[in-house]
Structure 1
Amino acid sequence: MRLTALVSSLLLATTATAGGPSFGQAEKKYLEHVANRLKNHAAKVEAAPAVERDVAKVQEPKFLNANTTRFAVDGKNIPDVDFDVGESYAGTLPISQDPEEKSELFWWFFPSTNPAAKKEILIWLNGGPGCSSLEGFLQENGPFLWQYGTYKPVKNPWSWHTLTNVIWVEQPVGTGFSTGNVTATSEEDVAAQFMGFWKNFIDTFAMQGYKVYITGESYAGLYCPYIASAFLDANDKTYYDMSGLMIYDPVISWDEVAEQVPVVQFTEYWSGLFPFNDTFREHIKSVDAKCGYSDFVSQYLVYPPKGLQPSKLPGTDKTGTTRDECWGLFYEIFDAILLLNPCFNIYQVATTCPLLWDVLGFPGSMGYLPEGAKVYFDRDDVKKAVHAPENVKWSSCSEQNVFVGGRDRSEPSSFHALPHVIDATKNVIIGHGALDMVLIANGTLLGIQNMTWGGKLGFQNKPDQPFYVPYNTMSDLSTLAAGGVFGSMGSERGLTWVQIDMSGHMVPQYAPSAAYRQLEFLLGRVNCLNCTVPFTTDPDAPQSQQPLGEGTAPQSWSQSPGKTGKQHGGGRGRFVR
């Protein structure tokens, strides 16, 4: 609904609810307040200078040549999308230069219309392992969005390609439309295969010498640092000019540190969203204490760190294996909240019923598709439009293992790969949604405080500066996004931490304006995240004139899954998008 139409309907509603001196006055005042807010917003949008930020600005194709023609996508004929999405290319390319190579990765590439995006390109990867980056494309940071429970796709003013050239890649082999035999046993293997694919892509599009930025979320907290580290080690700026890294709600440490250790404190902090009875609450506190989790957080989530965390994690036996009652704590809580909130979404814990259908069929929606609905990327017409293999059944997360034997044999990225990228680029951002429970922010902070980069261990100061998201005139009712102080941040020695209020696991989906500002920072378009500089694509939008104060995201909460067994290097059957 257009803003002007909604304002009119709300004003009519306020007239209809007018009555006696008290009856209906609360609702009337609310409707009047909403109508006035929307009226003011619409006026700001209409009065804003004509800044070009359409996701499909008409221009001559930038990358159409004899090698790319077969990948060109007709932007006017994307199924169910009733607008031109502009120039783009999609298809599959091999993971090596060997002419006999049969394994290929699927990708969708959108050139940018932004004049600042010259010789640079950004890679986006989703996690899993085995979850498709087309999820990020369609519901996070792509040119058009089809969010949970919504009627149809809409233009996305927060699309990352309005800032730079972006490619969404389905990897490793076995993910989404990517085809071939699964041979990866480690992140080193994944990185090597990606580098082979990347050289083919750069040669196809004649993009030699472009700066490369690598971004992703969740299990891509492994993918991205390892690929970035391999790019750096190649010492070849023609193909692998690694210039910056950004990862959201990432896997950077052991599963126990990311989930079990901080989970009880998480439920205490968000107690209104976890309204357990006293008996159960005392039970989980007792298990937490016996496993030593709250003590571990109190001892090691401090600034600066007191020292390296022990290799033997709390809650483990003499062999280093997590005890059953400690491993089960997270799942006890998960099962209990599902009884109270059967539509509970572990990716965004403020979600309640009804259960919204997801055109991607992602596990976060419990696989709910209404009768007659179809998973978007598994439709024949969509496959044809984007040059996808027609004989591949697409699913949001792979139904097969993407590592041989279902086990990734690499160590956590915070041990070596991630510090290497920070030290080499001095341009790494780790962002985390405050409402994510599949990977908990305090667990990520514990991983950071056990990581050495720039010659020091962890953050020396608590990252509690205000994270400011500019107010904007960029969105309509289908793409509204926040502005103002929206979390906490801190930067030290080339690493920036940002914790985002009211966001779940998929930050560009739940807080698109916050992710957009962080991307501007990564690309060097702005030099601060704690200042009131407007968006570069909305430069005249008025900003706050008030002191920002401290950051608002929870820090160090004080109220106190793979198929490879329960060693703290493996998980137990969890997809992290």
Structure 2
Amino acid sequence: MRTTKMSVLLQRRMTLFMKAALFVCFVQVFLGATLAQPAADEVTALPGLSGPLSSKQYSGYLQASGTIKLHYWFVESQGNPVDDPVLLWLNGGPSCSSIMGYLTELGPYWVNSDGKTLSANDFSWTKVASVIFLESPAGVGYSYAGSPDYTTNDDKTAENNLLALLDFFKKFPNLVKNDFYISGESYAGIYIPTLAVKIMEQKANINFKGFAIGNGALDIHLLVETSYQYAYYHGIIGDRLWKQLQLSCCKDGSCQYIGSTNPACVDAQKEAQYFLKHIGLNPYDVTGDCKGSYSSEMNSFSMLNFLGSWKSTSGPPGLHSAFLPCIDTTQGDAYMNIPEVRTALHIPSSLTLKWTSCNPALAANYTNQYTSMHSQFTTLLPNYRALIYNGDADDVCNFLGDQKFAASLNQTELGERRPWMYEGQVAGFVKEYKQLTFMTVKNAGHMVPMNTPGPALQMITNFLKAQPQ
């Protein structure tokens, strides 16, 4: 009897011991996850915002190669940050800041017209994911190289972005397990696939699942060819010029605009580019207004500059022309240069540079290495899911060019092209392949989340959850 009582007592003590041990383990895991986050980088408040932050935010620097430091701004998901996916957002340019994406597109707050205050974005992508806004390459925004002879190109940018990502997950080891996606727009059509290939080839300790590219620079030849086609069928250029382009640049249904040696083709493109430049049309949103107020630094900057930088010396010089971007960036520029904002984001006082949305000087010295992302997509699609989406009012990285690019990948089709819906209305059209989805977004320009935030949030939510659009 005594033996039985001792056995029961011992069993109870063992049970209590096990519960205590489990509790200690739970506390250690909880504290580990909490303490893993870099306290020095936490953003506790934002100037111009009335009320507390909607979720935790962090801002600081990530180590890339050598002396290069890339500035990041990380926003935890407003849903379930422990399990929700982590999304890297990259704006394009090359040389434009991803913080434009935060302040005017998909961040939790939009900067107001006064350049001093913020308003909540009810359609922020942080509703469904934790988002990293990375200022890349060095020389963009508050990122810096630390070397006076710094130059960069597509491959160097991809390598530095990977190093910065690895450093991010060192700062946030609790997020290594989370699904990870890369997203962005415009020249991020180059940044994203080149980075994704490096993640795959180097077998980085990142739970990489896929990528989404909006109005991407995916194939320069297709974009230039369809840009003229888009302009003609939207009533921007007339019959005479369109026929001249067709007769002098095209043969048997195939057109050569980039690197053409036919003087008539070069002249026709010069005329088309001069026309597009001087009529005051907004090429990023042909249905929208050309904003009369813009940063003086942006006056000589254009997506068309990078299109032209890929051409051979015999190509149309009109593609090199400065182009009024028709995008008002003054509010974001003003907000990011407020001293209290710099302090809140932990920008060192020793860094005296002025923040601008885009850096034309960096763009002018940036080396474009790729004319197409076909090879990268072919490498990636067997292993990762991809979304290509285009606002249908953008002529710069237009939907026709990216639609042709998607079709050229020869992926298994899952159905016919069809409309997709948002709140009972047609929001665009979708073509689904086995590992790839191509979508147009109605009434959106180059910056889809800015023009149509509701449909954009629905689109990215469905993509992250691998649900039909």
Query: 2:142 aligned with 1:177, yes or no?
Result: yes
TM-score (norm 2): 0.78
Deviation at 1:269, TM superposition (A): 3.1
1:397 aligned residue = 358
Q: 2:370 aligns with which of 391, 410, 414?
A: 410
Deviation at 1:516, TM superposition (A): 0.8
Kindly report which structure 2 residues correspond to 1:1-400, keeping only aligned pairs within 5 A, or say none.
64-65=34-35, 68-75=38-45, 78-85=46-53, 86-96=55-65, 101-115=66-80, 118=83, 120-146=85-111, 152-180=117-145, 181=147, 183=150, 185-206=152-173, 207-236=175-204, 239-254=205-220, 256-259=221-224, 261-271=225-235, 274=236, 281-292=238-249, 299=253, 313-314=256-257, 316-317=259-260, 323-338=265-280, 344-352=281-289, 355=292, 364-365=325-326, 375-390=334-349, 391-400=352-361
CA distance in 2, matches of 1:199, 1:66: 15
Deviation at 1:267, TM superposition (A): 3.0
1:467 partner SS: strand
Contact conserved, 1:110 with 1:161, CA < 8 A, in 2?
Answer: yes
Deviation at 1:286, TM superposition (A): 2.7
Gaps of 5+ in 1: 1-59, 301-311, 339-343, 472-482, 530-577
Q: 1:450 aligns with which of 404, 408, 418?
A: 408
Contact conserved, 1:184 with 1:190, CA < 8 A, in 2?
Answer: no
Deviation at 1:88, TM superposition (A): 0.4
Query: 2:468 aligned with 1:528, yes or no?
Result: yes
2:317 aligned residue = none
Contact conserved, 2:257 with 2:265, CA < 8 A, in 1?
Answer: no
TM-score (norm 1): 0.64
CA distance in 1, matches of 2:454, 2:62: 32
Deviation at 1:203, TM superposition (A): 0.8
1:355 partner SS: coil
Structure 2 CA distance for partners of 1:501 and 1:231, relative to 1, 3 Å: same
Deviation at 1:356, TM superposition (A): 5.5
In proportion to residue count, which structure has more helix? 2
Contact conserved, 2:72 with 2:132, CA < 8 A, in 1?
Answer: yes
Contact conserved, 1:130 with 1:172, CA < 8 A, in 2?
Answer: yes
CA distance in 2, matches of 1:374, 1:128: 16
CA distance in 2, matches of 1:321, 1:94: 49
Structure 2 CA distance for partners of 1:441 and 1:68, relative to 1, 3 Å: same
2:418 aligned residue = 465
CA distance in 2, matches of 1:153, 1:358: 20
CA distance in 2, matches of 1:324, 1:446: 24
What amino acid is the match of 1:408?
N
Contact conserved, 2:47 with 2:117, CA < 8 A, in 1?
Answer: no
Structure 2 CA distance for partners of 1:240 and 1:183, relative to 1, 3 Å: farther
Structure 2 CA distance for partners of 1:213 and 1:374, relative to 1, 3 Å: closer
CA distance in 1, matches of 2:258, 2:244: 10
CA distance in 1, matches of 2:398, 2:103: 24
CA distance in 2, matches of 1:501, 1:264: 20
Deviation at 1:501, TM superposition (A): 0.7
Q: Which is worse superposed, 240-249 or 146-155?
A: 146-155
CA distance in 1, matches of 2:68, 2:263: 37
Deviation at 1:104, TM superposition (A): 0.4
Contact conserved, 1:176 with 1:394, CA < 8 A, in 2?
Answer: yes
1:375 partner SS: helix
1:515 aligned residue = 456
Contact conserved, 1:287 with 1:325, CA < 8 A, in 2?
Answer: no
Report how many aligned residue pairs link the two structures.
Answer: 410
Structure 2 CA distance for partners of 1:466 and 1:235, relative to 1, 3 Å: same
Structure 2 CA distance for partners of 1:227 and 1:401, relative to 1, 3 Å: same
What amino acid is the match of 1:466?
P
What amino acid is the match of 1:115?
N
CA distance in 1, matches of 2:400, 2:208: 29
**Root mean square deviation, CA, Å:** 3.3
Deviation at 1:345, TM superposition (A): 2.0
CA distance in 1, matches of 2:330, 2:180: 38
CA distance in 2, matches of 1:315, 1:91: 41
Q: Which is worse superposed, 133-142 or 434-443?
A: 434-443
CA distance in 2, matches of 1:357, 1:383: 22
Larger radius of gyration: 2
Structure 2 CA distance for partners of 1:490 and 1:433, relative to 1, 3 Å: same
2:383 partner SS: helix
CA distance in 1, matches of 2:141, 2:37: 24
Identity of aligned residues (%): 21
